[in-house]
Amino acid sequence: MRIDLHCHSTASDGTDTPAELVRNAAAAGLDVVALTDHDTTRGYAEAVAALPAGLTLVTGAELSCRLDGVSMHMLAYLFDPEEPALFAERELVRDDRVPRAQGMVAKLRELGVPITWEQVARIAGDGSVGRPHVATALVELGVVPTVNDAFTGDWLADGARAYVPKHETDPFEALRLIKGAGGVAVFAHPAASKRGRTVPESAIAELAAAGLDGIEVDHMDHEPATRARLRGLAAELGLLATGSSDYHGSRKTCVLGEYTTDPEVYGEITRRATGAFPVPGAGGAGSGAGAGAGTRADV
Ligand SMILES: [Zn+2]
Ligand SMILES: [Zn+2]
C-alpha cells in the first residue's frame, strides 16, 4: 500500500487542479493521497468528485504557523472543515496572502526587479497566492533559473531582502483548533533548514506534550542523517513518523509518492481522527483503512 500524505493543488500553490492531482496520484500507483493545500479546504469537492476507483482521499490542510519568530507548517488531517473556530483562523491567514504577496512585489521592485502584481496574480490564477507564485515570476523574468533559487537569502527565503512575514497561527493554538475539529496534527518538514530557521527539538517535545500526533520525517528537504535523527526523536517522544512528497505539480521537482507513509502509521491517523473519514474512490474497491468508511460532511 502506497500512501502519500502531503500534496498541493491549484487550490493553493500546486499546479495540478484537484481533479488532476487525484488522477495523477492513481497513475503514480498510490493507494492513498492526502490533499493538504495551504490554509484552505477549497479543493476537496473537486478532488472527491474526480476520485478514481482504488484511490482513497485523505482530506487535510497545511496550516501556516509561527513559533518564536520561526515559520513552521502544521499538517492537519481529517478535521471537520466546517468547524467554526478552525475555519475562522484559516480565513484570517488566507486574507493576509494577497497584501503579503503585494508587499513582496513592492520590495522586489525596490530592488530593481521589473515584476508586477498583475504578473503574480496571473501565475496564481484561482489559487491562493503565495511565495512560490512570486518565485515563478522571478523565473519568468530570468532573475533566477529555478523556483528553488528564489528561496534564498538574496530573494524570498525567510528574512531575505524581499521577504514579507505573514499572519501565522501559534502552533499550540493550531493544535487546539485542529483537535477541536476532530483532526490529527503532524508537524510538516520540521527540519527543512533550506527554507529558513527551524524550531529546536525542545519545541517539538513541548508540542508533543500539547497533543501533536506526529512529525513528517521522510521529506525531500531532509537529508538522510536528518531523517534518522527525526525518526529517533519521534520514537523518543511517542510521535507518529510520516513520509510524503509535498507534491506541488510542476512547480517543484518532487514527484507523487517520492516519499510515503507506513500503512500502520496511516491506520493510526485514521483511528485518531473524528472530524472526517477518508473517502474511498468511486467503485467502492477502496483500499486499506479507507475502505467502507462513511464520508460525513467532509466535502
Ligand atoms: Zn510546508
Ligand atoms: Zn506543503
Mean pLDDT (the chain, rounded): 92
Of the ranges 42-51, 85-94, 162-171, which is most confident? 42-51
| pLDDT, tens digit (0-9, with 9 covering 90-100), for 247-278 | 999 877 789 999 999 999 999 999 999 999 99
| pLDDT, tens digit (0-9, with 9 covering 90-100), for 116-159 | 999 999 999 987 898 999 999 999 999 999 999 999 999 999 88
Ligand nearest to the CA of 5: 2
Ligand nearest to the CA of 13: 2
Q: Report the pLDDT value the prediction gives residue 283, as an integer from 0 to 100.
A: 53
CATH of span 3-90+167-294:
3.20.20.140
Q: Report the pLDDT value the prediction gives residue 105, as an integer from 0 to 100.
A: 98
Please give the distance, rounded to the nearest whole angstrom, from the Cα atom of residue 195 to the centre of ligand 1.
9
Please give the distance, rounded to the nearest whole angstrom, from the Cα atom of residue 2 to the centre of ligand 2.
19
Return d(Cα 14, Cα 4) in angstroms, integer: 15
Percent of the chain with pLDDT over 90: 84
Please give the distance, rounded to the nearest whole angstrom, from the Cα atom of residue 61 to the centre of ligand 2.
9
Please give the distance, rounded to the nearest whole angstrom, from the Cα atom of residue 244 to the centre of ligand 2.
9
Residue 286 has pLDDT above 80, yes or no: no
Please give the distance, rounded to the nearest whole angstrom, from the Cα atom of residue 156 to the centre of ligand 1.
15
Task: Give the 3-state DSSP-derived string for the chain, with helices as H, strands as E and coil as C.
Answer: CCEEEEECCCCCCCCCCHHHHHHHHHHCCCCEEEECCECCCCCHHHHHHHCCCCCEEEEEEEEEEEECCEEEEEEEECCCCCCHHHHHHHHHHHHCHHHHHHHHHHHHHHCCCCCCHHHHHHHHCCCCCCHHHHHHHHHHCCCCCCHHHHCCCCCCCCCCCCCCCCCCECHHHHHHHHHHCCCEEEEECCCCHHHCCCCCHHHHHHHHHCCCCEEEEECCCCCHHHHHHHHHHHHHHCCEEEECCCEECECCCCCCCCCCCCHHHHHHHHHHCCCCCCEECCCCCCCHHHCCCCCCCCC
Residue 76 grid cell: 492537519
Please give the distance, rounded to the nearest whole angstrom, from the Cα atom of residue 283 to the centre of ligand 1.
32
Mean pLDDT of 91-116: 94
Percent of the chain with pLDDT over 70: 94
Ligand nearest to the CA of 192: 1
Please give the distance, rounded to the nearest whole angstrom, from the Cα atom of residue 246 to the centre of ligand 2.
5
Ligand nearest to the CA of 151: 1
Nearest to 175 by CA among 163, 185, 167: 185
Please give the distance, rounded to the nearest whole angstrom, from the Cα atom of residue 77 to the centre of ligand 1.
14
Return d(Cα 55, Cα 296) in angstroms, integer: 18
Ligand nearest to the CA of 246: 2
Q: Report the pLDDT value the prediction gives residue 290, as an integer from 0 to 100.
A: 40
Local confidence band at 212 (pLDDT 50, 70, 90 cut-offs): very high
Please give the distance, rounded to the nearest whole angstrom, from the Cα atom of residue 292 to the centre of ligand 1.
31
Please give the distance, rounded to the nearest whole angstrom, from the Cα atom of residue 4 to the centre of ligand 2.
12
Return d(Cα 215, Cα 239) in angstroms, integer: 7
Q: Report the pLDDT value the prediction gives residue 254, as an integer from 0 to 100.
A: 86
Local confidence band at 285 (pLDDT 50, 70, 90 cut-offs): very low
Local confidence band at 287 (pLDDT 50, 70, 90 cut-offs): very low
Return d(Cα 201, Cα 203) in angstroms, integer: 5
